[in-house]
Structure 1
Amino acid sequence: MPPHEQPHYSSARKYSLLILFCLAQFLDTFNISALFSAIPTLQHSLNLSLAESTWLISAFNLTFASFLLVSGRISDVYNPKHAFIGGIFSLGMISLGAGFTEEKIPLIILRALCGIAGSMTIPSALSLIVTLFPEPLEQARAIGAFGGCGAVGNVLGLVIGGIFVEFASWHWVFWFVTVVGAPIALICIFLIPPPPRRPDLDALSPSVRFKTLDLVGVSILTAALVLFIFAVTSGSTVGWPTAEVLVPLFVAVLLFVAFFVYETRIPTERAAVPPHTWFYPNFSVLFGAALLPFFWWTTISTIFVTLWQTVYGRSAISSAIHIIPSSVTAFLISFTGPLSHRVSPKYLILLGQLLLITASILLAYADAENKYWSMIFPAFILGSAGAQLTFTHTNVAIFRTTPPSIAGTVGALFNGALQLGSAVGIAAVASIQSSVGAKHPPDSYAGRRAAYWFVVAAVAIEATAVVVFYRVKAERKEGVEELSAKEGPEELGLGSAKDSVTVSVWGKDEKAKRGTPNKEATEDSRNAST
């Protein structure tokens, strides 16, 4: 196939694959939320302490977030098809073993391994979506649906987990992942097409291609993330002013600095996260906005499931059902992706953040069981709409501002921000709730109210950053095609060339002389700017 021709796939094949990718996204978020409903039963069955039960959740979060960048680099440098199939199959098999485990330490270890397997699926799925749906409007719809299924899994997991705990056993929370994940891997072996030709990578020898994985940089960043998430997670259970928290936190900060220094000292095409990545139009502020959605959903799930079961005496399934409106709303809002072609993502993200602030204020005053319909229900609707608007349009905008050739790395960074926001945010919320609640009776709502005011402050700070730093003009005038045509391959991490540039434009390979792009590339750039 000539390099300038875009591969054509049938609609049935593309949308069948999108459904499978969405199911994989659903499983990754299900893996976290379903355990919230099962935690009380697991504590009793396995004799888990509060800290140990926290690590059942955190072990998955920690490894998932930490290994996303490795997965993203593998998807960009090698074959995203292999990364996706290997990840989803491993997730199913490890979950099968977790379902048969009756000891707490092996179960925590298997949860950590599930996080690694899960991290292989998301960047590779996003990379495949960008390839399968190169047309911008269609791509926005696909990415929106993909993100919506993550939101659904985040909330619907509570319901499914509650059903399993109520009518079967906690083991089915893990076996469900196997039942869904294994067939996905099998089908994708035959359904995912081979990746488009990448002249910039195909010309590299195996040893040079291996070096582009940047294992040193990835290892430094992975270690920093592991220690950072470990510190903030431990802070909510053992207390912040302790050596167990402060030492790993201090080392993590040093490793973050070391990572960014190291990335500036190596050739750009070999860097895991080239420094220029943060300077794509609006990339940094979009990364910051991505910290919020999972943070909000995890906060409401943690606070209300615990409140309803331990204080109000509701069953696991009853608590989960009361959160269903949040899931339904998120799924419906996920289809607003194409709106970003009529309205700037900046204003859609700001609307989402405004809804999050409103919902969090309502929840701060939802201090009685009889306030579900007057306070909690509208807050769930508004908050989930806001979180999903933020999620969807941050997701669409961040891929619009970066070249498709680094879609795996961008997907890893975006999803890493989601997980990092969830892990750090929930640790802060738990710490605030615990410290304030200690000064009041056990059934007091004071700690939870303080936690929601913290959420209001966090969202307000991020909204201010979007207002100040998000540049609509840059978004309109510097689309990914134009930016790719302007920059050489060294800047884009695509290898080197003396007098020609090979860039990927929405799934197409285009060649342009430096400073004198050909007519076809110029037309694409003008269309993108328009």
Structure 2
Amino acid sequence: MEKRNIFVVYFFILMATCLDNLNSATAFTLQGNIQQAFNTDSSTASWVLSGYALTLGSFIMVSGKISDIIGPHNLYLGGLSVIWICALICACIPHSSIITLIVFRAIQGVGASALVPSTLALAANYFSGPYAKYLPGAVVGFILALTGIFGVALVLGGAFSETAIGYKSYFYFVFAYGLVMNIILLFLIIPIEETEEHKKMKLKNVDFIGSALTIIGILLMILGLTEGGDDWKRPRAYVPLVVGFFTFVSSFIFEMFYLKRFQEKNQHRDKSEDWRLQIDLIFPPEIIHIPNFLPILIACGMYFATFTMITAIGVLYYSSIDGDSPIIVALKVAAISAGVIFGATTYRQSYYGKIGVRNMFIISAAVSLGTCIWFSRTNFHSHKSYWKFGFVSLFLYGYALNVFFNIYIGVVVSNTPLHLQGVVNGVYQTCSQVCLSVGNALVPSIVGNVVPATSEEMKQHLHNKFQNIFYVLMGFHVVILIMMVLFVRAPKKSEESETAEATAEEKPVDVEMGCDGTCSEKEEEGSCTNISLHGDISTSS
């Protein structure tokens, strides 16, 4: 590791990573201004957000794989450059056609797909070995950068929409902010130390066929989900969804049942004899062996869906029924982000040992379900409804959400080998983006076209529709709770002890006492620190 201060470098990385969700969340409160500026309907204007989310979700898995090959530091700088360049173009686009704006927002999403997997890969590499004791803090910082910015983004979107040049002022802001961060990191960012596994990976060996099928499949699925928000009966909604699903499945079959089996069958042959032997799989078989990989993956996706739904419900309810301005709406919904920030700043790794990670997963799911039920009691007839049913419930929801993401990211990052950090985080983020699109599509498909209510009858009609969404939202959280109880498993302590003893016999390690009293181990190149579901810290190569 170079002598540059990794804490300063990581701080600026997190500052730039904020642009990921900033570009998503501001669209919620900028959409009205964009619709007015381009003199278009709400469905078309919504594509300014959907286009960004479409490419972000489609490319993030492949971006993760590429980051493992060319280095997360290189991919990060490239993705950040795309974001601020596209922001400048979006700010300069005339109001003659909104299609141009949507296209460059989609390109901006491709750049954004590089940030999250690269950030987590950099954190895992920077805070390994003698710096491993700082990994939990790095995870907390990442949570704050990614989710804490959401409430700020909603307020910024509302504030920028009130300026003389409207939404354009936001894109000028992103251009300036992104450019400054890019210049700083160009000189500060620390290249990762390559392990032997890293050195074996080559860009020319990427499975381009599988990558293309994956991108096209996810692209079509998110497109179908986006279109389905207006009307599921239209062919342009269900055709892309079905075709996309089978395209994505075909990419998995191509790799797992063709390439993988071919490589296993011919593993003794010289790789130069056949291109199929040289291919690096997008879905490495090793990821299945990560503890609780599948249940946490599904729960993670469902949390993203519910987070999107509860945010959309809040924005639509407070604006269309309560008649609040964009800034007031943003401040009300920002209670979620306040809960996330509070949870992140008060979270301690000692929770692992005192309560147990599995138990905390269950508590998080139970609190999330309870707060959704509480928030569903919101009623415009009730005096001070927001303070009775909105503020505290949204705050606690954000807190519970933070608990889940703190544990999930900490467990997954620390249990994933360094050379697979990018692709594993890409898989999680892809699932999250697809489920986010599911949540984004469910709200308008149930509520329909929302216009500001001008009478008591209209308000009651809209209120009844929102109640239907709450039932779906609660159903999602019931499923999450059941999964946490039934499918997340903690390893037996006896097995952990045997593994620890075997590891100690095979490889001696130097133990360093951290400032918080925990022990971390100075490891060989390519190893990483594992946080087990009992809260114990161990190492794996």
TM-score normalised by length of structure 2: 0.83
Q: Which residue of 2 aligns with 1:100?
A: 92
Separation (CA, whole Å) in 1 of partners of 2:318 and 2:159: 16
Give the distance between the partners of 1:411 and 1:426, measured in 2 at CA: 22
Q: 1:376-397, CA deviations, whole angstroms, 9 ceiling, x for partnerless residues?
A: 0111111111111122211111
* 1:210 corresponds to: 203
1:225 aligns with 2:218: yes
Aligned mates of 1:295, 1:526 — CA distance in 2: 32
Amino acid in structure 2 at the alignment position of 1:221: T
Q: How many angstroms apart in 1 are the aligned matches of 2:170 and 2:306?
A: 23
1:54 maps onto 2:46 in alignment: yes
Confirm whether residue 382 of structure 1 aligns to residue 396 of structure 2.
yes
Identity %: 23
Contact 1:337 1:392 (C-alpha < 8 Å) held by counterparts:
no
1:165 paired residue among 161, 178, 195:
161
Partners in 2 of 1:113 and 1:159 — Cα distance?
Answer: 25
Counterpart position of 2:280? 270
Match of 1:35 among 15, 22, 27: 27
- CA shift, 1:308, in A, is 2.2
Is the 1:293–1:388 Cα contact (8 Å) retained in structure 2?
Answer: no
Instruction: Give the SS at the match of 1:270.
Output: coil
8 Å CA contact retained: 2:374, 2:393: yes
- 1:15 aligns with 7
Matched residue type, 1:398: V
In structure 1, how many angstroms separate the alpha carbons of the residues matched to 2:314 and 2:236? 29
Paired residue type of 1:280 = I
Deviation, 1:9, is 4.8
Q: Which residue of 1 aligns with 2:266?
A: none
Equivalent pair of 2:151/2:335 in contact (CA under 8 Å):
no
Using the TM superposition, name which of 85-94 and 345-354 deviates more: 345-354
Q: Contact between 2:13 and 2:185, CA under 8 Å: does it hold in 1? A: no
Choose the corresponding residue for 1:347, options 346, 351, 359. 359
Deviates more, 1:304-313 or 1:455-464: 304-313
Tell me the TM-score normalized by structure 1: 0.84
Contact 2:143 2:405 (C-alpha < 8 Å) held by counterparts = yes
Contact 1:34 1:157 in 2 (8 A): yes
Equivalent residue in structure 2 for 1:338, among 349, 358, 370:
349
Q: How many Å apart are 1:436 and its aligned residue?
A: 12
Q: Is the 8 Å Cα contact of residues 2 and 190 (structure 2) preserved in structure 1?
A: no
Match of 2:510 in 1: none
Task: From the superposition, tell whether residues 137 and 45 of structure 1 become closer, same or farther in structure 2 (CA, over 3 Å).
Answer: same
Tell me the residue number matched to 1:514: none
Hey, what does 1:3 align to over in structure 2?
Answer: none
Q: Partner of 2:146 in structure 1? A: 150
SS at match of 1:322: helix
Give 1:157's aligned amino acid: A
Partner of 1:442: 458
**Residue 124 of structure 1: aligned partner:** 118
1:180 counterpart letter in structure 2: Y
TM-superposed CA distance for 1:315, in Å, is: 1.3
Q: CA RMSD in A?
A: 2.9
Matches within 5 A, 1:246-395: 246-264=238-256, 265-267=258-260, 270-335=280-345, 336=347, 338-339=349-350, 341-342=352-353, 343-368=355-380, 370-395=384-409
Q: Which runs of 5 or more residues in structure 1 are unaligned?
A: 1-6, 486-504, 512-524
1:451-490, Cα deviation, whole Å (9 max, x unpaired): 11111111111221121111111699579x98x98xxxxx
Contact 1:296 1:387 in 2 (8 A): no
Task: Tell me what 1:464 maps to.
Answer: 482
Aligned residue type for 1:384: G
Tell me if the contact between 1:96 and 1:175 (Cα under 8 Å) persists in the aligned partners.
yes
1:519 aligned partner: none
In the other structure, the counterpart of 2:437 is 423
Deviations 1:359-417 (A, max 9, x none): 11112110217301110011111111111112221111112332122111112122222
Shift of 1:98: 0.6
- Total equivalences in the alignment: 482
Q: What one-letter code is carried by the residue in structure 2 that aligns with 1:310?
A: S
Q: Could you say if the C-alpha distance between residues 448 and 198 of structure 1 is closer, same or farther in structure 2, counting changes exceeding 3 Å?
A: same
Q: Distance in 1 between matches of 2:427 and 2:440?
A: 20
**Structure 2 counterpart of 1:190, one-letter code:** F
Distance between the aligned counterparts of 1:337 and 1:172, measured in 2? 39
Q: What residue number does 2:507 align with?
A: none
- Aligned mates of 1:108, 1:72 — CA distance in 2: 24
- Equivalent position of 2:273 in the other structure: none
* Shift, 1:108, TM fit: 0.5
Structure 1 pair 379–249 and aligned structure 2 pair: CA distance change class (3 A): same
Deviation at 1:298, TM superposition (A): 2.2
- Matches of 1:283 and 1:410, distance apart in 2: 10
Q: Is the 8 A contact 2:71 2:192 kept in 1?
A: yes
